[in-house]
């Protein structure tokens, strides 16, 4: 899967929490792609988890999984690329900066809806949308001392300036989409439900995948279950997030999904 730089800047800030996808597991490090910046970073084994006894990186990380980590160091290589060192070991979902990260990701999802509209309805090239429209506006956000404001909120507050870049038909569709997001305080597509699940079943993760597939088959692709890792009491805990991707899916549906997972599990499978 190709990633496109989301923000106008090509590198994160020190101590920023970023979304990253594991792309390679080496002997002494875990290589990740910083999704919103489209650059590579790495974590050492001790930076990825605070477990005291680990038999190897492949026991705690899986290629293709998306997680989050904090930027610890940034240095520039001779070839101009950045060397990004990250850490995840002591991040916890109760941390204020982690909560802010999740809110930022939720807000950025609304920007991506604008991109999706332009690609699907008006046949824009996705990379052009970011480079020609999103990045300049994001740079304006940062230069106007509004860098602490979510990008979607900055676009919404300066909507007429943003729409100047498009023709009449396109701008009205964008306006309708943004105003719709603004008026839907109960937007079901923003509903997330986090739970923890572990199993001692001999089939391990395949047992969990089978349960999820059977449960989600009833929702016709309108719900996703996303895997993540978090720390609790200095222990690495498998965590999952039920995410609505359709307006018809409600919080009640999430509760039904959780109950179905419990019913399909066995005595060796634990959910919290």
Nearest to 155 by CA among 125, 102, 99, 115: 115
Q: What is the mean pLDDT of residues 8-18?
A: 94
Letter string b/e over residues 182-193, b meaning 16 or more CB atoms within 10 A of that residue's CB: eeeeeebbebeb
Model pLDDT for residues 112-133, shown as the tens digit of each residue = 999 999 999 999 999 999 999 9
| Whole-number Å distance between alpha carbons of 9 and 132 | 13
| Whole-number Å distance between alpha carbons of 200 and 185 | 41
pLDDT of residue 23 exceeding 90: yes
| Whole-number Å distance between alpha carbons of 4 and 192 | 24
Model pLDDT for residues 185-197, shown as the tens digit of each residue = 456 666 788 887 7
Model pLDDT for residues 45-66, shown as the tens digit of each residue = 888 876 555 555 556 778 888 8
Model pLDDT for residues 25-48, shown as the tens digit of each residue = 887 889 999 999 999 999 988 888
With bands split at pLDDT 50, 70 and 90, how would you rate the model's confidence at 239? confident
According to DSSP, residue 89 is labeled T
Place of tokens 């950045």: 82
Element (H, E) at 83: strand 82-87
CB of 77 closer than 8 Å to CB of 83: yes
CA torsion sign, 181 to 155 to 125 to 110?
A: negative
């Amino acid at each position: 899967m190709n990633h496109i730089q989301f923000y106008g800047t090509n590198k994160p800030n020190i101590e920023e929490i970023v979304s990253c996808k594991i792309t390679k597991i080496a002997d002494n490090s875990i290589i990740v792609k910083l999704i919103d910046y489209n650059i590579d970073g790495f974590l050492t084994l001790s930076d990825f988890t605070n477990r005291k006894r680990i038999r190897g990186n492949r026991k705690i990380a899986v290629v293709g999984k998306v997680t989050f980590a904090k930027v610890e160091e940034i240095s520039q290589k001779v070839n101009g690329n950045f060397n990004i060192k990250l850490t995840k070991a002591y991040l916890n979902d109760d941390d204020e900066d982690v909560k802010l990260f999740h809110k930022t990701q939720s807000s950025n999802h609304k920007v991506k809806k604008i991109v999706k509209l332009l690609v699907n309805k008006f046949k824009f090239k996705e990379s052009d949308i970011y480079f020609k429209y999103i990045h300049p506006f994001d740079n304006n956000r940062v230069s106007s001392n509004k860098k602490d404001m979510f990008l979607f909120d900055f676009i919404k507050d300066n909507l007429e300036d943003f729409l100047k870049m498009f023709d009449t038909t396109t701008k009205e569709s964008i306006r309708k989409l943004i105003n719709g997001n603004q008026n839907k305080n109960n937007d079901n597509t923003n509903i997330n439900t986090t739970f923890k699940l572990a199993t001692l079943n001999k089939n391990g993760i395949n047992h969990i995948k089978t349960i999820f597939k059977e449960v989600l088959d009833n929702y016709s692709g309108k719900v996703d279950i996303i895997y993540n890792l978090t720390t609790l009491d200095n222990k690495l805990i498998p965590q999952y997030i039920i995410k609505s991707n359709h307006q018809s899916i409600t919080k009640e549906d999430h509760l039904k999904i959780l109950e179905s997972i419990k019913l399909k599990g066995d005595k060796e499978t634990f959910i919290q």
